[in-house]
Amino acid sequence: MALSRRLNQIDRMVTKHYSHIWDCCCDHGLLGMKLLERSAADALHFVDMVEPLMCELEAQLKKYAAPTDNWQVHCLDVAHLPIAQTPAEDSHLVIIAGVGGDLMIELVTKILANNPSRVIEFLLCPVYQQYKLRLALIKLGLNLEAEYLLRDNKQFYEIIHVTVNNDPARSEQLSPVGSLMWDFSQPEHRDYRLRMIEHYRRMQNNNPKAAEVVKQYRELK
């Protein structure tokens, strides 16, 4: 099945080889299958909590994956990824896409709390609450590797690649309103910024913090 623009862009942002890639909240596993096909990791893990979906996906993979492909299907809550059961030196990329920012905050927080000594990278593409997610990632001490803004099917998506990074010298600071992703020569980017300003302007009466968010979007160059 063809990947959406959004999933294709997430695939393009996987530029390194990892010991483990976790395609979390994977649904039908389209993104993970693409990554498996191009051997982006030693082991590709498909994770979702809906059992019938995971049984169907497992059957598909048994039928179509190459015999040399290393994959596993996990029917579980993403908060409980079995990262601790892997060798300490292994590298991990955790991809979470297609769920809200609130849930993402909960999942990333739990994964980090369960694996305090691991260096884990996250590739995140929330459907809502991008600003709130970014604030939480900053609070968790994660650093920016890359970010991308795109429009797919009339909806805008921010894709945020962050990492646990012990080396501040080679890390980029994450901004609550985005930094590297903006290219204001593109009309779509100007449009997205205006939408965000409008969204937080409407919230100002009920939420005093919204004025500060509006200011931050306005100050973007």
Ligand X SMILES: C[S@@+](CC[C@H](N)C(=O)[O-])C[C@H]1O[C@@H](n2cnc3c(N)ncnc32)[C@H](O)[C@@H]1O
Residue 75 found at the interface with ligand X (CB under 6 A):
no
Half-sphere exposure of residue 108: CA atoms within 13 angstroms, side-chain side: 35
| Euclidean distance between CA atoms 108 and 120, whole angstroms | 10
User: Which amino acid is located at 124 in the chain?
Assistant: L
Q: Which residue in 8, 9, 27, 100 binds ligand X (CB under 6 A)?
A: 27
Write down the least CB distance from residue 168 to ligand X, Å: 31
Write down the least CB distance from residue 163 to ligand X, Å: 20
Residue 211 found at the interface with ligand X (CB under 6 A):
no
| Euclidean distance between CA atoms 130 and 177, whole angstroms | 8
The greatest distance separating any two alpha carbons of the chain, rounded to the nearest whole angstrom, comes to 59
Residue 82 found at the interface with ligand X (CB under 6 A):
no
| Euclidean distance between CA atoms 85 and 19, whole angstroms | 13
Q: Which residue in 11, 21, 40, 48 binds ligand X (CB under 6 A)?
A: 48
- Comparing CB distances to ligand X, the nearer of 90 and 106 is 106
Q: Which residue in 5, 17, 50, 198 binds ligand X (CB under 6 A)?
A: 50
Q: Tokens 């059992």, residue? A: 51
Q: Which residues bind ligand X (CB under 6 A)?
A: 25-27, 47-50, 77-78, 97-99, 103
